[in-house]
Amino acid sequence: MKFKKTLFAGIAAIVGASTLLGSNIASAQKDWPTKPIALVVPFAAGGPTDTIARLIAVPMGQALGQTVVVENTAGAGGTIASTKVARAAPDGYTIYIHHMGMATAQALYDKLPYDPMNSFEYIGQVADVPMVLLGKKDLPANNFKELEAYIKANGSKVTMANAGPGAVSQLCGLLFQSRMGVRLTNIPYKGTGPALTDLLGGQVDLLCDQTTQTIPYIKDGRVKAFGTTTMKRLPAIPNVPTLNEQGLKGFEVKVWHGVYAPKGTPQPILDKINAALKKALSSPDVVKRLQDANIDIAPMAKVSAKGLKDHLESEINVWGPVIRKANIPD
C-alpha cells in the first residue's frame, strides 16, 4: 500500500514536472526571440556569402524584433561552420547561411562530420548568384583566347585563388582547369573576400568569383573578366562573353544559397525565421542591391523548407557525378 502511494506520488510529480517543462518550452518558443540571433557565415567577412548575410540580417532582425548578428566561421571551404551549426543548440539562436557548398562538400571530402540531408532544419532558399572568371589587371592576357595561350605557355606558374575545398570558387576553378586540361597553382583563402583583395593587389593571377561584389571592379578595369559561368551574358556586364560561347560548352555554375538551423529547432521558431527571411527578401533595399549584382532572388515558393531541401537533394545528385568525373582532388 505504502509502495503504491509512493509510486502514485512519484508519477504525479513526474507528470507535473513534465507539464511544467512542456509549458516552459511552449512559452520559450512563443516568446522567442528574447536575445540576439547568430547568423553563421562559413567564409571570411567581405566576401559574397558574408555580403548577402549582412544584407538580409538587418531586415530579418527588424522583422523578428532582435538583432541578427553575423558570425564568420571561416575555413575548410565552409565545412567548419557546417559542423559547428550541426552541433549547435537547436534553440533558434543559431541560424546559418550557406551556398551550394552544402551540396558539393560530400563529393569533395572523404568523410564529413555532418550529413547535409539530415543534420539541419531547412528554412528556405535565398538567391542564385552567377560567377565570373577574373584575372589581375596586369595579366598579359586581355581576352579568353589570350588567356588560353598564356596558361599553355606558363602552366603551373599561373596562380589561381579559391576559398578551399567545398567553396564554389574552388569548384569553378578546378572545373575550368579540368576543361582546359591544365593544373595551375591553386591558393586557398578563407573566403573570396580576401582572395579578391589579393587579386586586386596583383598577388594572385586568377579567381573565379561570384558577381556579388565584383561588378564594379570589372566595370572600372581593376580586374579583367574572361568569361561568365552563365549560359547567357549578364545584363550588368554585357561585354563579358560567357565561357560557354568561348568554347567551354555547357560551363555553367550558378551559386544558390540557403538558410538553415540546427536539427531539432522547434517548428514555431522555424516558421518565424522563415517569415522574417521572406520579408527580408522582399525589402526594396535588398532587392535593388541584389539586382544590381545580377543576383536572382529565389521565388517565394522556394523560400521554404521543402524548396530548400528538395533543391539540396537534387544538387547533391547533380554535382557528385560532375566532381567525380572532373577528378577534382581534396
Residues that bind ligand MLT (CB under 6 A): 43-44, 47-50, 99, 101, 163, 167-169, 191-193
d(CA 138, CA 224): 9
For 6, the grid coordinates are 509512493
d(CA 64, CA 272): 8
Residue 45, judged by CB atoms within 10 A of its CB (0-12, 13-18, 19+), counts as: middle
- Please state the closest distance from residue 280 (CB atom) to ligand MLT, in A: 18
In terms of CB distance, is 80 or 275 closer to ligand MLT?
A: 80
In terms of CB distance, is 59 or 191 closer to ligand MLT?
A: 191
Torsion angle in degrees (nearest 10) through CA of 311, 316, 319, 323: 160
Cα–Cα distances in Å, from 72 out to 99, 122, 177, 191, 258? 14, 20, 29, 10, 16
In terms of CB distance, is 167 or 248 closer to ligand MLT?
A: 167
d(CA 229, CA 245): 10
In terms of CB distance, is 192 or 246 closer to ligand MLT?
A: 192
- Is the Cβ–Cβ distance between 249 and 180 less than 8 Å? no
- Please state the closest distance from residue 320 (CB atom) to ligand MLT, in A: 18
Helix axes 2-31, 267-282, angle to 10 degrees: 0
- Please state the closest distance from residue 251 (CB atom) to ligand MLT, in A: 16
For 206, the grid coordinates are 586568377
Alpha helices (runs of H) in 32-119, residue ranges in sequence order: 48-64, 79-87, 101-108
- Please state the closest distance from residue 195 (CB atom) to ligand MLT, in A: 7
Handedness of CA 302, 96, 267, 121 (dihedral sign): positive
- Please state the closest distance from residue 35 (CB atom) to ligand MLT, in A: 27
- Is the Cβ–Cβ distance between 191 and 46 less than 8 Å? yes
Residue nearest to ligand MLT (CB): 47
In terms of CB distance, is 100 or 270 closer to ligand MLT?
A: 100
Q: Under the phi-then-psi rule, with left for phi > 0, alpha for psi from -120 to 50, and beta for the rest, what region is 92?
A: left
Give the 3-state secondary structure of residue 133. strand
- Please state the closest distance from residue 48 (CB atom) to ligand MLT, in A: 4
In terms of CB distance, is 72 or 265 closer to ligand MLT?
A: 72
- Please state the closest distance from residue 276 (CB atom) to ligand MLT, in A: 22
In terms of CB distance, is 101 or 135 closer to ligand MLT?
A: 101
- Please state the closest distance from residue 76 (CB atom) to ligand MLT, in A: 12
In terms of CB distance, is 116 or 193 closer to ligand MLT?
A: 193
